Chain A
Amino acid sequence: MRYAMAIDTKKCVGCSDCVVACQIENKVPVGFCRDWIVETTTGTYPNLETEYRSERCHHCANAPCVRCCPTGASHIEEGGVVLVTPDLCIGCGACIASCPYDARYPHPDGYVDKCTFCIHKVRKGEQPACVEVCPTNCLYFGDLDDPNSDVSKKIKERKYKRLKTEAGTDPQLYFLI
């Protein structure tokens, strides 16, 4: 099993519904977010192109945060989901410094917090909160090992890019372009 997410940058409008849904579902403290919108504008005026991306932890197959964690609090759960065990976390910040995507933050309660792919919902057969709520249906979540999952089908039919692969992370978010 290999959970992954595909984000259709052609359909995303940057509404931030995924951000709010995550904050509510996961009781993210005020002022923090586990997922976020990035808007990039590139080109030469007047030929500009804007892209919206809904970003979160990339659940890297070669996760530097897991490698740098001194206590084993950061670990890879079944399905390749990168999680933090709060009772093992000392809040040293090594994982935060080691993440090229800056996807982690220190929770006000002390431990380090991040996107979990809503594994508590996924285990019940549901979809992550951000995927459920997306009004343009631009997020696809599923198992890459299952050729019939939404995410497998999407990355088979569409061109995609992954971010900062040069950091050696083997990220599992696929941005459809």
Chain B
Amino acid sequence: MEEEIIISGRMNHKVDPLLHIWGWEIAFYLFVGGLAAGILFFASFYYLRGKDKELPAAIKWAPMITPVILILGLGALFLDLHHKLYFWRLYTTIRLQSPMSWGAWTLMVETPLSIVWSATYVREVFPNWDWKFKWLYALEAFFIKYRRVLAWIMVFYSVILGIYTGILLSAFNARPLWNTSILGPLFLASGLSAGAAVIMGFSKNELERKLFSQLDLVIIGVEIFFIIHLFMGLLASTEVQIEAAQLFLGGQYTLPFWIFVVFIGMVVPALLELLELRGQKIPVIIPVILILVGNIMLRFIIVYAGQASRYLY
């Protein structure tokens, strides 16, 4: 039998025997980044369509959590840095070729936007809220006046934030599993699905819940289409890409991927939503949690499996 044995004397920490430079911090950030992008996209999109009376959960309630989760995500990114005190170097330059650079700048726009957006609605959501200072009331009035401008910027930047979480990984041609342009759209769709799920969870009115349930069904369909496309692309490519696809088709990530991401995170919630739309009573929290679990598992599995895929001489 033709054999090839490769022995390397290198054993660098976090690089050998398999790359593991990125851990839970990146996966967690990709999850919350996508989720926040999804919520803020629907909030600004439906605000611009003039639906702020009909869809309070999408426009007012769900965005309340986005500043919190974005700041948690930024905290995770900070933890991931090895040279932490130099983090500000990200903001002394713009490097268009580096997705991480324009992603950092996108976060710099989107995080304050999410704070301002929530702040303009905080007194509607929490009637007892008191800004304490006069100038804060003035600031609030100013932003409420220009909410439409905020919404236009936000609708644009939330798409960039959602797609960036995938493009960050697909820019690495050294990791064949990541190096596919479908990862950007897949992560955007998955973030929108998570956003729609959270809005469903917050919603108290039947019409809004139904709308987001239908939207979620369509997005899950798109996600499954992208996943099929991902494998078609990998399997029709070179040897290293075929090997990368094998990680999910018999390799070590097969069970977690197909069970947690596809079955529990997409197929089951889609079926539950279908049943609900047909009039069955299903507690909304079940599909919401399943979708979020599938979402977070997708990020973890892609981040870890991507580092296990490589060019081997």
Contact = CB atoms under 8 A, between A and B. Distances in A.
A87 B12 contact: no
Question: Range of interface residues on chain B?
Answer: 35 or more
Nearest to A19: B9
Interface-centre pick from B14, B19, B92, B98 (highest chain A CB count, 10 A):
B98
Contacts of A163: 313
A112 B89 CA distance: 14
B69 to A, nearest CB: 21
Contact of A89 (B4, B86, B173): B86
A99 B238 CA distance: 18
A42 to B, nearest CB: 5
B95 interface: yes
B173 A100 contact: yes
A105 B12 contact: yes
Contacts of B174: 64, 97-100, 167
A111 B19 contact: no
A14 to B, nearest CB: 8
Contacts of A89: 83, 86, 89
Contacts of B171: 67-68, 98
Contacts of A96: 14-15, 19, 21
Interface-centre pick from B8, B11, B80, B83 (highest chain A CB count, 10 A):
B83
A42 B86 CA distance: 46
A100 B93 CA distance: 26
A88 B84 CA distance: 11
Contacts of A6: none
Nearest to A36: B10
Nearest to A109: B83
Contacts of B65: none
Interface stretch (A70-78, A120-128, A136-144, A149-157): A70-78
Q: Is chain A's interface secondary structure helix, strand, loop, or mixed overall?
A: loop
A40 to B, nearest CB: 5
Contacts of B7: 38-41
Interface in B1-27: 1-16, 19, 21-22
Contacts of B9: 16, 19, 33, 36-38
A13 interface: no
A147 interface: no
B118 interface: no
Interface in A3-51: 16, 19, 31-33, 36-45, 48
B3 A164 contact: no
A102 interface: yes
B10 A33 contact: yes
Interface string B86-121: 110110110101111101100000000000000000
Interface-centre pick from B1, B14, B86 (highest chain A CB count, 10 A):
B86
B104 to A, nearest CB: 6
Given A33-B12, A36-B8, A44 B2 contact: yes
A59 B6 CA distance: 23
Given A70-B90, A167-B174, A40 B4 contact: yes
A70 B22 contact: no
Nearest to A29: B13
A88 B89 contact: yes
Contact of B89 (A36, A71, A97, A106): A71
B189 to A, nearest CB: 23
Contacts of B310: 100, 102
Interface of B: 1-16, 19, 21-22, 80-84, 86-87, 89-90, 92-93, 95, 97-101, 103-104, 171-175, 238, 307, 310-311, 313
Q: Which 8 A-B pairs have the closest CB atoms?
A: A91-B82, A110-B83, A91-B83, A36-B10, A70-B101, A70-B100, A100-B174, A105-B12
